[in-house]
Amino acid sequence: MIDPLLTKADNKITSKPEIENIEREKQEYKLIGQYLRTRGLRMYSYNSLRNLLIEVKIDSVNTINLTPDEDGNLKAHDFAFEKITVDSRNIHFEALNMKNAKKRLLKFKQSKIKELCNLREPGEGINHW
C-alpha cells in the first residue's frame, strides 16, 4: 500500500522542510488513536523539553444508542467513554497519583524502564493459554 503522505502530484520531494513536514504528519497519525485505560489510574503528561510533568484533564462523554432487538422493540445501550485532548509532543502515561508518576518518570530517566507510556491499545488482552 502506498503511503498517502508520501504521494504528491509531482512525486518530487526535494526540500528539507517538506520532508520534515511529512515526517511530522506521519508521527501525528501514529499518535492519534484509542487506548485502553486502567480503572482508578490518572493520566499524566510529560514534556521532555521543559522537564514538566502535569496531570491531564479527562472529559467523559455519555451517549445512548438505541438498537432493535428480536421483537422489533428498541433497546437502549448506554456507552460512556472518556475523551482526552493530547499534545503529540508529550509522553502520556497512567499512574495512581503524582507521587507514583514522579517515581515512574525517575525510573524512565534512569533507564530502569524502557518506555514511559504504559497505555494499552485496543485488542491487547490477557492470554490465558
Q: What is the pLDDT of residues 68-120, one digit of tens each?
A: 888 888 887 666 677 788 888 899 999 999 999 999 999 999 999 999 999 88
- Within-domain flag for 70: yes
Give the integer Cα–Cα distance in Å for 29 and 93.
19
Give the integer Cα–Cα distance in Å for 48 and 10.
37
Residue 56: predicted pLDDT: 93
Give the integer Cα–Cα distance in Å for 90 and 30.
14
- Within-domain flag for 119: no
Q: 3-class SS at 24?
A: helix
Number of domains comprising the chain: 1
- pLDDT exceeds 50 at position 2: no
- Within-domain flag for 78: yes
- Within-domain flag for 15: no
Could you report the per-residue pLDDT of 29-83, keeping only the tens digit for each?
A: 544 567 888 889 999 999 999 999 999 998 877 777 777 888 888 887 666 677 7
- Within-domain flag for 40: yes
C-alpha cell belonging to residue 125 = 488482552
pTM of whole model > 0.85? Answer: no
If pLDDT is split at 50, 70 and 90, which confidence band does 27 have? low
- Within-domain flag for 4: no
- pLDDT exceeds 70 at position 12: no
Query: Residues 6 or more apart from 76 whose CB is under 8 A from it?
Result: 64, 65, 66
Q: Which domain holds residue 91?
A: 36-109
Distance of CA 15 to the CA centre of its chain: 31
